[in-house]
A and B are shown apart, each in its own frame.
Chain A
Amino acid sequence: MEEVESKPVKRRTKDLNLWEKIYIPEIIKGLALTFRNIFRPKFTMEYPEVKFEPPASYRGRPVLVQEESGVERCVACGLCSRVCPALAIEVQAAETELEKERFPEKFEINMIRCIFCGFCEEVCPEEAIVMSKDYELAFFNREDALYGKDKLLVPASELEDRIKFLRQYK
């Protein structure tokens, strides 16, 4: 309640004094304000030269985490594919001699379908698929929009702050 009372009282036309009613001094005040703004620093980021560096909470394109040994973390459980509301992810599992026993033979994200909701990342038990900071996604045809393992695998070192962010907030 106190906050409401401390608000400045709304002034109506009848409350204004003559100086304010003349209107022109007030216009000059407004003009001075806009004129000062001409010389203030600009907020525009000139894109192709200056690029936006997103924070860790940014949801760019989803990528697969690649361990230092060159193997992906993914065990091809298919949860991401199930949870994906846009049906953008296709996983085909296969067996492997490694400790994890299963690996994705084919992992394909259709970037035309992807809506960047981050459900795949949220549902993943292995922290194997995370959202990156990559926002430059343009293709010239539909075939280029199918991102296979070659494009999806990103070394874990490049995704450190996102993984840290997930451990803290997920």
Chain B
Amino acid sequence: MTILEIVAFTLIKIVIILSLMLFTVSYLVYFERRVSAWIQNRLGPNRVGWQGILQPFADVFKLLLKEDIVPEKANKKLHAIAPIIALFVAFSTYAVIPFGPELQIFNYKIPLVVADVNIGILFVLALTSLGVYAITFAGWSSGSKYSLLGGIRSSAQMISYEISMGFSIGGVLLFAESLRPIAIVESQSGWMWNAIVQPIGFITFLVSAFAETNRLPFDLPEAEPELVGGFHTEYSSMKFAAFFLAEYANMIIAAGLIVTLYLGGWQIPYIDKLGLPSLVETLLQVGAFVFKLIAVLFFFLWIRWSLPRFRYDQLMNIGWKVMFPLSLLNIIWVAILIMIFN
């Protein structure tokens, strides 16, 4: 492929991924509202369009028409920058998550990932830790005590759980012997999914992912009964919407990471034995990735409406005294496995 073709294909992928992300994020909000309603024996929004399918558009238009209020004592610049950082981090992380194997079409081999970076996992960790800045800036610049408390809580929480997250990824990297997301997916061929091989690492990663995305049971940064709205108390209109979208985009990224690292990515076990045409096989595998992603996202929502919020000291206790040792134990377990079978 010439450079021009590579640029063209990458641009196409960027446009598709970005628009798909925006679309999925808004529908994830709708999905969350429906699922939460079902779990609580309600119906949820089902009025706008068939079964409320147009609800996200109504919500976005409403938010666009709202007045944008900036508190008098806010640090105006940081107040405006914070949601931008949140959105930037949320959308750019997705660039390295592969959603399918190489697509072979018209003699071109197109890898189904925006950027096939050989340090992809490092890139994800680096960018997601930038996300703390968005929340901390938002909390600090609002000039409100509730926002500040929310921001501080979130930074402490994210820093604590990043450690166990990093260590649980360590186990995966030992197996794959690479930081390339595609190589990690390929190392889990057949039923050698990391979730099955290293269940402890899977659980610690899952819990840390919940903490990183500020979802219940770890949504202390925006605990409504104590902190009004947490770090986004003083945000309104599209700035609030930006935080809202970023939160849900982060959920999709966390789900994408879980699928890539632990659930075998796009792979369907033993599909190559069926001898399907390569295009059909590729599409099926992309479908498998989407299916796994949706299943993990449903799990996120399901957990939210099942578990109560942790207290702050319990959160720190679990993070440092349980999750951290467990993720270390997982690395030892993986090392033993490799020593025996290699």
- Chain A residues close to B by CB (< 8 Å): 24, 27, 30-31, 33-35, 37-38, 40-44, 46
Once bound together, how far apart are the Cα atoms of A33 and B42, in whole Å? 16
Q: How far is the CA of A42 from the CA of B35 in the complex (A)?
A: 12
Q: How far is the CB of B40 from chain A (nearest CB, A)?
A: 7
Considering the complex, give the chain B residue whose CB is closest to the CB of A33: B306
> How far, in angstroms, from A9 to B41 measured CA to CA in the complex?
31
**A–B Cβ pairs within 8 angstroms, 26 of them:** A24-B203, A27-B307, A30-B306, A31-B302, A31-B303, A34-B39, A34-B305, A34-B306, A35-B39, A35-B302, A37-B38, A37-B39, A37-B40, A37-B41, A38-B35, A38-B38, A40-B41, A41-B41, A42-B38, A42-B41, A42-B42, A42-B43, A43-B41, A44-B42, A44-B43, A46-B43
Contacts of B307 in A (CB 8 A): 27, 30
**Do the beta carbons of A34 and B302 come within 8 Å of each other?**
yes
Could you tell me the distance between the alpha carbons of A37 and B43 in the complex, rounded to whole angstroms? 12
Contact present for B306 and A31 (CB under 8 Å): yes
Q: Which residues of A contact B38 (CB under 8 A)?
A: 37-38, 42
Q: Closest residue of chain A to B47, judged by CB?
A: A46
B308, closest chain A residue (CB) = A30
Q: How far is the CA of A27 from the CA of B302 in the complex (A)?
A: 11
- Distance to closest chain B CB from A106 (angstroms): 42
Residues of B within 8 A of A46 (CB): 43
Q: Closest 10 A-B residue pairs measured CB to CB?
A: A44-B43, A34-B306, A38-B38, A30-B306, A34-B39, A44-B42, A31-B306, A42-B43, A43-B41, A37-B39
Would you list which residues of chain B between 26 and 72 have a CB under 8 Å from chain A? 35, 38-43
Question: Which residues of chain B have C-beta atoms less than 8 A from A35's C-beta?
Answer: 39, 302
Bound-state CA distance A115–B170 (Å) is: 66
Interface residues of B in 3-41 (CB under 8 A from A): 35, 38-41
Shortest Cβ gap from A47 to chain B (Å): 10
Q: How far is the CB of A14 from chain B (nearest CB, A)?
A: 16
Q: Name the A residues within 8 Å of B203 (CB-CB).
A: 24
Give B177-218 as 1s and 0s: 1 = Cβ < 8 Å from A's Cβ atoms.
Answer: 000000000000000000000000001000000000000000
State the CA gap A37–B42 with chains docked (Å).
10
